[in-house]
Structure 1
Amino acid sequence: MITSILILLALTVPAGILYTRKSPQFGGRPSSEDLDRYSRSPQWKDGVFLNRSLTTMDVSLWSMPGLLKEFLSGRKNRQPPEPLIIERLDSDQFHDGKDKFIWYGHSTVLFRVSGKNILVDPMFGPDASPIGPLRTPRFSKSSLDLIDDLPQLDLILLTHDHYDHLDYASIQKLKNKTSEFWVALGLKRHLDKWGVPKDQIKEFDWWEESQLGALRIVFTPSRHFSGRGLFDRSKSLWGGWGIISENRKIYWSGDGGYDSHFSEIGAKYGPFDWGFMECGQYNEKWHQIHMYPEEAVLASQEALVKTAVPVHWGAFSLALHDWTDPIVRFSGEASEKKLKGCYPRLGQIVTVGKEPSEPWWEL
């Protein structure tokens, strides 16, 4: 959320507006044909996509200077004391025939499910902001190099178009590693501008499904917003994903606040073996678009998740809390509520049935 505030502040000057039109990382602008297509979505009203519940943020133009000051001079514990190491991929171990995943920090996860390699929200870049002077640096070094280790991918899934999930530099390196991008409705224009062939991109509205071999994949609702610049707020959709095979069910919550959709998703598609639940970058001012850790535990239970993996932390400081606050609060609440949690190290290969829970963040 803080990235959106920084971008808005920087782009209110004429030079910033010009920058958005010239710099490729801002993505594509919706054409009249795009807008006509979006208008056929049940989620589209009065020229924007909407959440199912009224969703507000307590952030005004007048409050932004104070927020920016607090962000730039906040607590020293918002970043780890030293760079976090991301383990390099052991290809032989990853392809041993068992379902598994690797979390690379924040919301980037590589899955091996039913023999398919699936990458979700590939943000390997060093910074979650497109504005040079307003950096939100990654906790780990040389993360883009990790893409070189990745296997050929059967599919890339994208939940929404915010910079901490859809990264220009990462997509440029990944274009030749896959021929399938399944994305939230409205993201095709960004990938198209970045050189991804149109026939490799499939857009999804909420509850729409498709098959990838034996895998059934569904785009699920979340409570959030979208946009990469001044003029495209909520001009693309946001959501989560369900990945369902004969032997495995995986839920990816996507970014968003707590709402009734978790129970609905659990009833439709659960129970889930693994649930990757947004947990991090929250604040009382934008509580309705980023849930608190305790709510992430509740959401896991309502979605009928058996083993919950908190994500959206461990890579960037995009709010004002300590960098370990999400995992400390989530793990404590999960223990109290008898929810099984999985807390892997960055880059660690996690195999089904061998989910780690050691507190590695206690540096």
Structure 2
Amino acid sequence: MLHVFGKNPTRNIQRRFLGLTNYQNGRFENLGGVSFRPTDAPMGKMLRDFLRKPRTVTPSRPLPTLQTDLHHPASELPTIIWFGHSSYLIQADGRNILVDPVFSGAASPVSFAVKAYPGSDAYQVADLPPIDVLVLTHDHYDHLDYATVRALREKVQHVITPLGVSGHLRAWGYAPEQLTELNWHDTAEPLPGVHLTATPAQHMSGRSLAARQTLWASYVLELPGARLFLGGDSGYGPHFRAIGEQYGPFDVALLENGQYNLSWHAIHCLPEETARAAQDLGAKLLLPVHWAKFTLAYHPWNEPIQLVLQAADAAGLPVTVPRIGEPYTLGTPPKREAWWAFD
């Protein structure tokens, strides 16, 4: 059981972080000192939210999904296949880039908690092609899944993580030469023509009681002829505009949209903020993620997509909302079939 928690950086590794502007007093920090503490979401309020949650926090029937042969991409152009929540595969020119995969059926250290919605768990590790680059944004259980990452080990060539996160993977059997850690604004080229730059996010980390021992990040992914923003988890802040000015514009931004609560507003966007963040980034298109698989907050399960579409449409921002498993190729018309339109 303890292996699920992974391994935080040792004291020797922590010494390498000393002097970094985003590392203070033994912990990583957000820009501007933005923070979230457990006391910001007191247990009494969380219990009241739980007891008052609507029945629509989970879908009333299995989600519609599409089975796609991931081993034979239909296009050489950059194509995104979303697996629900924040897991997705980017295929381009014969390369496979996998982001935050969670295929175990639960976003939790125990299998019986935070279970995937019926229908949303349509893909498993066995369905995936060989993975050229595995990208991890941070070490929370809904983004870094022990069972999935262990099962992927023989399929993965390179892994890109924020500072400190690779310690979990080393504890789970990955070889040091597979792993590259980045601080914000560091760049790696794991394959010719594939550039990944870690950029700030306004969030936190932790798989145990010791929080913020590892860094969290978003990424700029540059492919031949395309630039994508991989948002990870983040509250809204000025970093989005700064990233857009330094690295944008973007052909598509994959941004967190869902599992929000005012108690943790500092580290998770509300839907209207997701649309605003995409505009700040200079994104030509928004693909909302972090919804339609797990209940981590007590809003109706499909409220995030309804609200973000309202905000984006009002701003004239194109949004694509493919079904789980449905490929979306950059440059093609956005997918807007309302497959989520049920309680």
Alignment TM-score > 0.5, same fold: yes
1:62: Cα distance to partner? 8.9
- Cα RMSD after superposing both structures: 1.9
CA distance in 2, matches of 1:245, 1:297: 24
- 1:269 maps onto 2:247 in alignment: yes
Does 89-98 or 56-65 show the bigger shift?
56-65
- Partner-residue secondary structure (3-state), 1:250: strand
Partner of 2:270: 292
Instruction: Please give the per-residue CA displacement for 1:70-115, whole angstroms capped at 9, x wherever unaligned.
Output: 3265211000002224322224652532221100011001001243
Aligned AA (1:71): F
Does 172-181 or 68-77 show the bigger shift?
68-77
Picking from 119, 126, 131, the partner of 1:148 is 126
Picking from 253, 259, 263, the partner of 1:281 is 259
- 1:128 maps onto 2:97 in alignment: no
8 A contact 2:41–2:263 mirrored in 1: no
CA distance in 2, matches of 1:97, 1:284: 42
8 A contact 1:342–1:356 mirrored in 2: yes
CA distance in 1, matches of 2:148, 2:106: 11
Q: Percent identity?
A: 35
- Partner-residue secondary structure (3-state), 1:154: strand
- 1:47 maps onto 2:26 in alignment: yes
- 1:345 maps onto 2:315 in alignment: no
CA distance in 2, matches of 1:152, 1:77: 37
- Partner-residue secondary structure (3-state), 2:201: coil
TM-score by length of 2: 0.94
- Partner-residue secondary structure (3-state), 1:176: helix
CA distance in 1, matches of 2:317, 2:27: 37
Aligned AA (2:156): T
- 1:255 maps onto 2:264 in alignment: no
Instruction: Please give the per-residue CA displacement for 1:41-93, whole angstroms capped at 9, x wherever unaligned.
Output: 32100110000123244742992144135326521100000222432222465
Q: How does 1:309-328 map to 2 (within 5 A)?
A: 309-328=287-306
- 1:208 maps onto 2:186 in alignment: yes
Picking from 172, 189, 198, the partner of 2:176 is 198
Name structure 1 gaps, 5 residues minimum. 1-21
Distance 1:249 1:108, change over 3 A: same
Picking from 143, 152, 155, the partner of 1:177 is 155
Q: How does 1:16-95 map to 2 (within 5 A)?
A: 23-57=2-36, 59-60=38-39, 63-71=42-50, 74-91=53-70, 94-95=73-74
Aligned residue pair count: 340
TM-score by length of 1: 0.89
Picking from 240, 247, 252, the partner of 2:218 is 240
Partner of 1:166: 144
1:140: Cα distance to partner? 3.4
Instruction: Please give the per-residue CA displacement for 1:134-158, whole angstroms capped at 9, x wherever unaligned.
Output: x111113583852111111110000
Does 142-151 or 289-298 show the bigger shift?
142-151
Does 82-91 or 277-286 show the bigger shift?
82-91
1:132: Cα distance to partner? 5.7
Name structure 2 gaps, 5 residues minimum. none
8 A contact 2:83–2:120 mirrored in 1: no
1:281: Cα distance to partner? 1.0
Q: How does 1:222-237 map to 2 (within 5 A)?
A: 222-231=201-210, 233-237=211-215
Aligned AA (1:167): D
CA distance in 2, matches of 1:331, 1:61: 29
- 1:357 maps onto 2:329 in alignment: no
8 A contact 1:58–1:285 mirrored in 2: no
CA distance in 2, matches of 1:138, 1:176: 25
Distance 1:111 1:61, change over 3 A: closer
Aligned AA (1:163): Y
CA distance in 2, matches of 1:278, 1:303: 14
CA distance in 2, matches of 1:297, 1:142: 24
